[in-house]
Amino acid sequence: MELNDYLQSYKDYFWEWTTDEDVPDDTGYHENNLVSIPQVGAVAYRAYLIEVLKQFQMIGLPFFTPLVLALYATNEGYLDIKGIKEGIRKHPLATHEQVKHLIRPAFQFLETLKSLPAKYKKGKNRILLLQTVFSGAFRAVPPGQSEYIIKFYLRHPQQMGDSARKAELTVSRFSKDLNILATLNERFPSAATLIEAMKGFTDIPELEDEVAEEETTVETGADFIQELIEEPKTFQVGSLIKRIWSGLKIPMRHLSPGEQPIGGISDMTNKGELHRMLLSEFANEDDVFMNRVANNEALYIQREIPPEENIFERVILIDTSLKNWGTPKVLAFASAIAVIKHPKAHSACKVFALGQNIIPIALDKVDEVLENLNQVSPVLEVSHTLERFFEEEHKEKDLEVFFITHQENLANQNLQRVIHENRDRLKFLVTTSAEGELNFYKHHKGTRKHIQKIMLPLQELWANPPKRNREGNFQDNSIKTPVPENYPLLFPTPKDRIKTFLYEGDFYILSNRKQLLKTYLSDNYYNRNIYRNISTQKGCEVIAEKISVRPKGSFALAKDKAGDYILAQYQPDKKILSKLNLNTKEYNEMNLTGQYIPEDFNLIYFNRNFYLYRSDAVSIFKMNLEGEPAAEPIKNHDEIVKTGIKIDTELRRLNNTGIKILNNFNRIGISNAGELIIDKFALGLVSKNVYGLSRNYNRIQVLAIRSKNKFMFDDGSEVITDSRGMLTFISSNKNIPVFYMPSTHYGYIALATEKEFAGSEYYLPKNSKLKIRETDEMYREYMGAFIRHVLEYGT
Cα 14 to Cα 5: distance, rounded to the nearest angstrom:
17
**pLDDT tens, position by position, 23-65:** 777 777 778 888 888 878 888 888 888 888 888 876 778 888 8
At 479 the pLDDT is: 67
Cα 254 to Cα 66: distance, rounded to the nearest angstrom:
48
Cα 699 to Cα 667: distance, rounded to the nearest angstrom:
13
Task: Give every CB contact of residue 189 below 8 A, 6+ residues apart in sequence.
Answer: 112
Confidence check: pLDDT of 733 > 50:
yes
Confidence check: pLDDT of 787 > 90:
yes
Selected residue with higher pLDDT from 397 and 369:
369
Confidence check: pLDDT of 525 > 70:
no
Confidence check: pLDDT of 533 > 50:
no
What's the mean pLDDT in 690-718? 88
Cα 661 to Cα 651: distance, rounded to the nearest angstrom:
22
**Helix (H), strand (E), coil (C) string for 780-791:** HHHHHHHHHHHH
**pLDDT tens, position by position, 247-268:** 777 665 544 444 444 455 666 7
Question: Poorest-confidence range of 325-339, 525-539, 653-667?
Answer: 525-539
Q: Which of 306-310, 491-495, 743-747, 783-787 has the highest mean pLDDT?
A: 783-787
> Cβ distance 575 to 602 under 8 Å?
no
Q: Quick check: helix, strand or coil at residue 302?
A: coil
Confidence check: pLDDT of 795 > 50:
no
Selected residue with higher pLDDT from 344 and 224:
224
At 543 the pLDDT is: 93
Cα atoms in the 13 Å half-sphere on the side-chain side of 553: 20
At 754 the pLDDT is: 93
Confidence check: pLDDT of 468 > 80:
no
Q: Model pTM greater than 0.85?
A: no
DSSP states of 604-618: EEETTEEEEE-TT-S
At 200 the pLDDT is: 57
Order of all β-strands in the sheet with 668-671: 690-695, 681-687, 676-678, 668-671, 700-703
Selected residue with higher pLDDT from 627 and 497:
497
Selected residue with higher pLDDT from 529 and 384:
384
Helices 81-89 and 64-73: crossing angle in degrees, nearest 10, is 140
Fold category of 222-253+309-461 in CATH: Rossmann fold (3.40.50)
Banded model confidence at residue 772, pLDDT cuts 50, 70, 90: very high
**pLDDT tens, position by position, 99-151:** 888 888 888 888 888 888 888 888 778 888 888 888 765 666 776 677 778 88
Q: Tell me the domain boundaries of the chain.
A: 3-202, 222-253+309-461, 258-306, 497-654, 668-794
Q: How far is CA 608 from CA 58, 469, 556, 559, 615, in A?
A: 42, 60, 12, 9, 19
**pLDDT tens, position by position, 193-241:** 888 777 654 433 333 333 222 232 333 445 688 888 888 888 888 889 8
At 311 the pLDDT is: 53
**pLDDT tens, position by position, 156-198:** 788 778 888 888 888 888 888 888 888 888 888 888 888 877 7
CB atoms closer than 10 angstroms to residue 206: 7
What's the mean pLDDT in 648-664? 75
Question: Poorest-confidence range of 241-255, 478-492, 535-549, 567-581?
Answer: 241-255
Q: Over pLDDT 70: what percentage of the chain?
A: 85
At 541 the pLDDT is: 93
Cα 174 to Cα 177: distance, rounded to the nearest angstrom:
6
DSSP states of 724-744: TTEEEEE-SSTTS--EEEE-B
